[in-house]
Chain A
């Protein structure tokens, strides 16, 4: 079955360490996204990618970095510059970045990665 796989599900980090969250999709979607979820605050967009080798900052990109070397993969690195990294991170994809046809802007989400800074 097609879907999005995020790993690891749980991750613990010491202060000052960088960590990378994996996101892989087999839906043949062009667009991919990273969201951060904090209790009671909904989801906030960190980075998004329209196509391979291209990505854009979202609303809260400071302290994060991404790459999009393959269509299927969109890893997120939480750097030591992120002041409050403890959160639940969700990766998503959509059929296309632009376009309003059927399903074009419907996001499919992974199961998330929970990062805790010790």
Chain B
């Protein structure tokens, strides 16, 4: 069985501060994908990134960066110089390569509140 843990339920920062969201996953599969989705107040989940289990390179996209470490089963997400528009709930998710296909296991989410 797969499991995704986001230990931080809520993080509050002041605008321009950096914020790091933790994600720890559990799976016995060797082939899997990890995802981050953003859920703004409007409710719709927005895809941010997908990383496969064979690619441990960190990635930077604008103010967003991701740190994937298989040794610690973690896929952490950092927002640099946060802005009020970054206020949302962020979900980490895991999908394994099995016959059942693209079933995602989600973490509980981390609510980020960026204050002006």
Contacts and interface: CB of A to CB of B under 8 A. Distances in A.
B103 A104 contact: no
Contacts of B33: 100, 105
A45 B104 contact: yes
B107 A42 contact: yes
Interface residues of B, number: 25
Interface string B65-104: 0000000000000000000000000010001010001111
A50 B100 CA distance: 10
Which DSSP category, helix, strand, loop or mixed, fits chain A's interface? loop
B13 interface: no
Interface in A64-102: 88, 90, 92, 94, 96-98, 100
Interface of B: 4, 6, 9, 33, 35, 37, 42-47, 50, 52, 91, 95, 97, 101-104, 106-109
Given A40-B108, A90-B45, A107-B102, 20 more contacts: A31-B102, A42-B6, A43-B106, A44-B106, A45-B103, A58-B103, A94-B102, A96-B102, A98-B101, A98-B102, A104-B102, A105-B33, A106-B35, A106-B47, A106-B50, A107-B45, A109-B37, A109-B45, A111-B43, A112-B44
